[in-house]
Amino acid sequence: MLADYLIAPSLNALFVTGLILLSIIILMVKNYSLLMRLNYYQKIILLSSLSIAFATHGLVHLGVEQRYNFNPYKWF
């Protein structure tokens, strides 16, 4: 079913960025104690970077939903 959707570069980019964001979340959970030892400035930079990454991923979702009628929530 997923192979039917992964035909356009924008869909491939969406899939890859989703995997990268998932791996970042897993690494953050595994290294939680290290993250808590960061100073305030480093935490702000980390959270800002994650915010930009998630926002960009969300905007790609918006474009893909309009162009290809791709909505992963319909899979469940």
Residues 7-63: pLDDT tens digits?
777 778 888 899 999 999 999 999 999 999 999 999 999 999 999 999 999 888 888
Going from N- to C-terminal start, the domains of the chain cover: 32-69
Q: Compute the distance between CA of residue 38 and CA of residue 26 in angstroms, rounded to an integer.
A: 18
Q: Which residue has the tokens 């893909």?
A: 64
pTM of the model: 0.73
Alpha helices in 1-76 (DSSP H): 2-5, 9-30, 32-36, 40-68
HSE (side-chain half, CA atoms, 13 Å) at 45: 6
Q: Radius of gyration over alpha carbons of the chain, in Å?
A: 15
